[in-house]
Structure 1
Amino acid sequence: MNDDMFNELLESVQQADSMIKGQSTAARITEFADPEVKAIRTKTGLSQSRFANLLGVSKRTLENWEQGRRHPTGPARALLKIVDADPEYALKALHG
């Protein structure tokens, strides 16, 4: 690692430290909208039970997502994004 790269990395760590201590704020904050679970399910034409089964979650979890009481995270959120982008292909791939 050369001096320029080291100094750039050190500056980044110092900036992160000042943010953690509350001495400065992030230059930008990126927020991602929650997926519209009901709209995504509607695209597939599946019932709540079948869609929940496809995603590997309980029907109750799916209901909570659709009604906004809970929000999908991690792999479920990524899978919903894939289904939203191309429902036909995603269903084909998931049904194997």
Structure 2
Amino acid sequence: MVEDDFDFDDSPEWHGGNTRPLDASAKLVLARALLDLSQRDFAGLLGIPVATLRNWEQRRTEPDAVAKTLIDLIYDDPQGMRDRMARRTAA
């Protein structure tokens, strides 16, 4: 069996100083993946057109400040927000 010796001395350390914060697009894509939803289902949950979600995810357009706040809330607790939104639509 061959033992590999890896030298990572040339790799930067991972810390907040050398990483970019996630933008709204990345947060949407990650939250949708965590919830295992299609774009159509996620857009329905959000109450927005599928085209709007696609444009946001593909960075063609940028959500307004209110939508960005909602995106942050969804990203921070995807399942909790899904449950809240499902209750809202069921009422």
Q: Into which bin does the TM-score normalised by the smaller protein fall?
A: 0.5 to 0.7
Distance 1:56 1:83 in 2: 13
Show CA shifts across 1:19-66 (max 9, x none).
Answer: xxxxxxxxxxxxx86311212211221110011111121100111111
Q: What TM-score, normalized to structure 2?
A: 0.63
Give the unaligned 5+ runs of structure 2: 1-20
- Does the 8 Å CA contact 1:49/1:59 hold for their aligned counterparts? yes
Provide the TM-score with structure 1 as the length reference. 0.60
Q: What percentage of residue pairs aligned between the two structures are identical?
A: 34
Match of 2:68 among 46, 55, 77: 77
Higher RCO (CA-CA < 8 Å; seq separation 6+): 2
2:75, 2:22 → 1: CA distance? Answer: 13
Q: State the partner residue of 1:67.
A: 58
User: What is the aligned residue count?
Assistant: 65
Gaps of 5+ in 1: 1-31
Partner of 1:39: 30
Counterpart code for 1:43: L
After TM superposition, where is structure 1 displaced by more than 6 Å over at least 4 residues in a row?
none
Q: RMSD in angstroms over aligned alpha carbons?
A: 1.6
